[in-house]
Amino acid sequence: MAKHTNAFPELQRDLRFVPLGVDDPQVLTAEQINRYNADGFLFPIDIFSTAEMAEIRAYIDDLVPKALAAGWGNYDVVNWHKHCRGIWDLITEPRIIDVVADLLGDSVVLRHSHLFAKLPGDPKQVSWHQDASYWPLTPSRVVSAWLAIDDTDVENSAMRVIPGSHHNAQLTFHDSAEDENNVLFQTVRDAEDWGRAPVALEMKAGQISLHSDWILHGSEPNGSNRRRCGLAMRYLSADVHAYDGWNAHSVWCRGEDPRNHWANHPRPDGEAIPANLDA
Q: Could you count the other beta carbons within 10 Å of the beta carbon of residue 204?
A: 15
The three state secondary structure string of 169-204 is: CCCCEEECCHHHCECCCEECCCHHHHCCCCEECCEC
The dihedral built from the CA positions of residue 274, 90, 66 and 184, taken in this order, carries a sign that is: positive
pLDDT band at 118 (very low <50, low <70, confident <90, very high): very high
Q: What is the pLDDT of residue 194?
A: 97
Q: What is the pLDDT of residue 181?
A: 80
Residue 144, strand partner residues: 211, 234
pLDDT band at 1 (very low <50, low <70, confident <90, very high): low
pLDDT tens across 219-276, in order? 999 999 999 999 999 999 999 999 999 999 999 999 999 999 999 999 999 999 999 9
pLDDT band at 186 (very low <50, low <70, confident <90, very high): confident
Q: pTM here?
A: 0.96
pLDDT band at 279 (very low <50, low <70, confident <90, very high): low
Quickly count helices (H) and strands (E) in the chain. 4, 16
Strands, E, within 11-73: which ranges?
A: 41-46
d(CA 78, CA 231): 10
d(CA 211, CA 215): 7
